[in-house]
Structure 1
Amino acid sequence: MSYPAAVITCSDRAAADIYEDRSGPVLRDGLSALGFAVAAPVILPDDPVLIAAAITDAVDAGARVVLTTGGTGISPRDVTVEATRPLLAYELPGIAEAVRAAGLAKTPLSCLSRCLAGVIERDGPRAFVFNAPGSRGGARDALAVLSPLLTHIVEQLDGADHDLNRPASS
């Protein structure tokens, strides 16, 4: 089954066309390769109001997976986590920890990422949201962790059993 997904790039410089968005395409291509139906690219400046609105718009439009990229570091303009956290019904900290650990094998800078994973519950179906780092390497590390999990996460949000070989209980 193909689930709808969205990728939102959060970067002042990419939004102003100062440089090309390089991590967003990595995430979009990765989701597409997994069979997700990926919405058109969204590139926003580092503005918490715009970021929160883009995430809720994506979920309201039916996205079951929303991946953001950028704004997870420690600079004053890194606000993606702060824009996302109030939208979450609950966090999934193990996913963010696994992504940081995957990156730490390659660079000590990975431990500076404040990436966040969680579930949004709105009027429609629940959705998974993950804040990935804004680098191509960080996006690749996120996909390496998320790829075997994303379909299962969506199925779990819909009530599937933990054992994918058994149907969901009523």
Structure 2
Amino acid sequence: MKIGRVTLSDRAAAGIYKDESGPEIERVISNLFEEPVEFVSVLIPDDKELLISQFIRLVDELDCPLVLTTGGTGPSARDITPEATKVVLDKELPGFGEIMRMESYRKVKTAILSRAIAGIRKRSLIVNLPGKPSAISECLSLLGEAIVECLDHIRGYRPTLSNKLHP
């Protein structure tokens, strides 16, 4: 399965620090599904138009069934991920953001500041994930079954979940 992975970070894109969130998505997803996964990895600054163009490339041109973003979901002026995501979605799936906020809030009260969303563009699922590696792992383990179910509905394809994250 081909998966688009987009990290949004002005500082990581400028080389000021290393992107740790994107590789964490790859690590967790590789353990989440039994099938081999091919990642199309992108690191960009927090730029709405640039993110929109990447969504179009990953979904419309490369036909990635799943696109995961990390970063840019907070309340600061540069956090534009949900706004860019809304532009390209055909349907929103509010339950993804709701469950991530609810479960994350149990551990970290500031998780309520997340504006992460998810939805469908054509036959692809796009999910905004948090920017912290530990939160990425937690959220993806919560969303695994919903991701599989959604891909089955929109593609007729049902990847097999591994038991590595769900003992």
Normalising by the smaller structure, the TM-score range is 0.7 to 0.9
Q: Are residues 1:20 and 2:18 paired?
A: yes
In structure 2, give the amino acid aligned to 1:138.
Answer: A
C-alpha separation in 1, matches of 2:142 and 2:55: 21
In structure 1, give the amino acid aligned to 2:7.
Answer: T
In structure 1, give the amino acid aligned to 2:89.
Answer: L
Q: Are residues 1:150 and 2:147 paired?
A: yes
C-alpha separation in 2, matches of 1:14 and 1:69: 12
Aligned to 1:167: none
Aligned to 2:7: 9
Which of 129, 134, 139 aligns to 2:131? It is: 134
C-alpha separation in 1, matches of 2:135 and 2:126: 16
Q: Are residues 1:39 and 2:39 paired?
A: yes
Q: So what's the TM-score if we normalise by structure 1? A: 0.85
In structure 1, give the amino acid aligned to 2:30.
Answer: S
- Matches of residues 96-115 of structure 1 in structure 2 within 5 Å? 96-115=97-116
Which ranges of structure 2 fall in alignment gaps of 5 or more residues? 158-167
In structure 1, give the amino acid aligned to 2:24.
Answer: V
Percent of pairs with identical residues: 36
Q: So what's the TM-score if we normalise by structure 2? A: 0.87
CA positional deviation for 1:138: 2.3
- Matches of residues 53-132 of structure 1 in structure 2 within 5 Å? 53-59=53-59, 60-121=61-122, 126-132=123-129
CA positional deviation for 1:158: 2.4
Q: Which ranges of 4 or more aligned residues in structure 1 deviate by more than 6 Å?
A: none
Higher relative contact order (CA closer than 8 Å, sequence separation 6+): 2
Superposed CA offset, 1:108-166 (max 9, x none): 11100000010001xxxx10001111111221232122222222211111258xxxxxx
In structure 2, give the amino acid aligned to 1:38.
Answer: E
CA positional deviation for 1:63: 0.4
Q: How many residues align?
A: 155
SS of structure 2 residue aligned to 1:73: coil
Which ranges of structure 1 fall in alignment gaps of 5 or more residues? 161-170
My pick for the range that moved more, 30-39 or 46-55, is: 30-39
* Aligned CA distance change for structure 1 residues 36 and 87 (closer, same or farther; 3 Å): farther
Q: CA RMSD in A?
A: 1.6
Higher-helix-fraction structure:
2
